[in-house]
A and B are shown apart, each in its own frame.
Chain A
Amino acid sequence: MSKILMKGAEAVGEAAIRAGCISYFCYPITPQSEVAEYLSKRLPEVGGTFVQAESEVAASQMVYGAAGAGVRIMTTSSSPGISLMTEGISYIAGAELPAVFVNIVRGGPGLGGILPSQADYFQATKGGGHGDYRFLAIAPASVQEMVEWVMRAFPLAEKYRNPVMVVGDGLLAQMMEPVDFGCVEPTPQIDVESWATTGCKDRPANLINSLFLDPLKLEEFNWKLKAKYEAMEAEIAYEEYKMDDCEMFVVAYGTTSRVVRTAINALREEGYKIGMFRPITIFPFPQKAMRAYGENPRVKSVAVVEMSNGQMLEDVKWAVLEKKPVEFFARNGGIVPNPHETMEFLRKSYEKHGGTK
């Protein structure tokens, strides 16, 4: 299939349609309102349903309802909107329903700004809302990857009957890049009848519920959820870039990983043996693979570059068990680190820990 030049936010909308999601409920918020704009035009063309809700809280409850009815469903928002949606996300996790959420992260806290940020890492990877729940959180680094992961997110949500979140930022949503929608084969929904409220004539009724007043039953349910979240480790995805001979590796994801890649390419020409470990799933975190690099005697240090004041940093430190020094560089508040300042940081960190050239 030939490539189309497309804006990230619009590509997210098109990817959902290609994946068989023709229902979308939302509340617009910068920098991802173009998803809604695009789908408001496209969904009627494919016989789908577009609803602009009265708030993000309402949109998330509409998603809950549609998911319960066995419909492939997605909503998209940005940080403050996702905070409002966490009520719905918690209920959807509690009722074990599949739904796809896209968070185009902007600077925070509060209303924050509208420019790219990775400050919602904790929210995306540690639960976010109330209760003991987790979800697959996936952080693509290009418009193409965003398309692929949005398309894969639907069957993954159905596999685990759980919300899946695709985490991007304003840069990925606003930039245009070539995309090929043919890279991911759409998969049909399976086994919906066994859990969704699709009408129970000739079959036992299904109940959509997250209320367990009996604490023993709720505890048992929580153990079941825990096992499910552990099983999601099968979905761990990451990229290793120039890791084979590295004496220092950088951990970066999403937009930041692109800046780091450019920095590494330039530094390699200067003789610095630096690689990059890029988590694609940020939950579950690719902890084991990263730990193996941390234990490699050739590796002298680790560096983290992210657009938050050290949220993923905590997971990296935990992954390498402080066996190697972990250096940290961040820009925050909507500023994307530029390759120049990233290179300066990497040079200093590399030399500080005795990297050879």
Chain B
Amino acid sequence: MEREVTFAGFGGQGVMTVGKFLAQGAMNKGMEVAWVPSYGPEMRGGTAYCTVVIADEPVGSPIVRNPETAVVMNRPSLDKFGPEVKPGGCLIINSSLIDVTTDRQDILVVTVPCNQISMEVTGTGRSANIAALGAYAGAVPVVDFASIEDVVKTKFAKKPKVLEDNMAILQKGYEIGRSAREAWDAGKGA
């Protein structure tokens, strides 16, 4: 078993951070993981992405051409990673900032208003990445949701209000992801 997800957005959207949260959650469950950042001559506001590979054996190539899942937080990321998702995989689109979708029929497409969810809970869009992580956990259940919740709890342990908000945002994202997955699976069965 080897599962890959790419989180992509512009610098500052926290895509690296949620990738680390996921990797940590998987590692805590005893899975093998690799978190691979994009690095290179980047500029502030430029694109940033990371890939998390989760496996039951030591991770082979950490370079993944076609990830099982892409979580795209802005339009350039959709354009870059949307076509790369493996057939049968999943694409999670931050519909707060991306006003288009994909015409791909061979993958599960989940549109999540990440910034809006964050805005409703905290009054800012800062935790949009947490909504996206929740949606991923719901739509692609590779790592126990409880394990991801535990990572978020640990990271924000010293800030009770921030923790409470982020847990609510994570949960909302999770529910959207999970119902999209259920609808997709039901449709395939029919």
The reply to whether the CB of B45 lies closer than 8 angstroms to some CB of chain A is no
Specify which chain B residues have a CB less than 8 angstroms from the CB of A340 in the assembled complex: 65
Interface residues of A in 309-337 (CB under 8 A from B): 336-337
Interface residues of B in 28-43 (CB under 8 A from A): 32-37, 39-41
Specify which chain A residues have a CB less than 8 angstroms from the CB of B27 in the assembled complex: 3, 5, 178
Interface size on A, residues (CB 8 A): 25
The reply to whether the CB of B58 lies closer than 8 angstroms to some CB of chain A is yes
Check if B41 sits within 8 Å of A176, measured CB to CB. no
Partner of B61, one of A5, A115, A261: A261
Specify which chain B residues have a CB less than 8 angstroms from the CB of A175 in the assembled complex: 34-37, 62
Check if A142 sits within 8 Å of B58, measured CB to CB. yes
The reply to whether the CB of A187 lies closer than 8 angstroms to some CB of chain B is no
Specify which chain A residues have a CB less than 8 angstroms from the CB of B178 in the assembled complex: none
Alpha-carbon distance between A244 and B79 when the two chains are bound, in angstroms: 45
How does the 8 Å CB contact mask read for B138-165 relative to A, with 1 for contact and 0 for none? 0000000000000000000000000000
Interface residues of B in 7-45 (CB under 8 A from A): 20, 23-24, 27, 32-37, 39-41
Check if A5 sits within 8 Å of B60, measured CB to CB. no
Partner of B60, one of A3, A176, A262: A262
Partner of A115, one of B34, B40, B60, B65: B40
Alpha-carbon distance between A82 and B151 when the two chains are bound, in angstroms: 39
Check if B62 sits within 8 Å of A5, measured CB to CB. no
The reply to whether the CB of A35 lies closer than 8 angstroms to some CB of chain B is no
Alpha-carbon distance between A115 and B38 when the two chains are bound, in angstroms: 10
The reply to whether the CB of B168 lies closer than 8 angstroms to some CB of chain A is no
Interface size class of B (residues with CB under 8 A): 20 to 34
CB distance from B57 to the nearest CB of A (A): 9
Known: A5-B33, A171-B36, A174-B36. A261 touches B20 (CB 8 A): no
Partner of A339, one of B40, B41, B58, B61: B61
Partner of B39, one of A174, A255, A259: A174
The reply to whether the CB of B63 lies closer than 8 angstroms to some CB of chain A is yes
Known: A5-B27, A262-B60, A265-B60. A177 touches B34 (CB 8 A): yes
Alpha-carbon distance between A170 and B23 when the two chains are bound, in angstroms: 19
Check if B20 sits within 8 Å of A176, measured CB to CB. yes
Known: A3-B27, A5-B24, A261-B60. A178 touches B40 (CB 8 A): no
Alpha-carbon distance between A174 and B16 when the two chains are bound, in angstroms: 12
Check if A339 sits within 8 Å of B39, measured CB to CB. no
CB distance from B14 to the nearest CB of A (A): 16
Specify which chain B residues have a CB less than 8 angstroms from the CB of A261 in the assembled complex: 60-61
Chain A residue nearest to B39 (CB atoms) is A174
Alpha-carbon distance between A344 and B46 when the two chains are bound, in angstroms: 33
20 further A-B pairs in the complex, CB-CB below 8 A; given A5-B27, A177-B35, A339-B65: A5-B20, A5-B35, A31-B39, A114-B40, A142-B58, A171-B36, A174-B37, A175-B34, A175-B37, A176-B20, A176-B23, A176-B33, A178-B27, A255-B62, A258-B59, A259-B61, A261-B61, A262-B61, A263-B61, A340-B65
Contact surface of A with B, Cβ cutoff 8 Å: 3, 5, 31, 114-115, 142, 170-171, 174-178, 255, 258-259, 261-263, 265, 336-340
**Which are the 6 A-B pairs with shortest beta-carbon distances?**
A262-B60, A176-B35, A262-B61, A259-B61, A261-B60, A175-B36
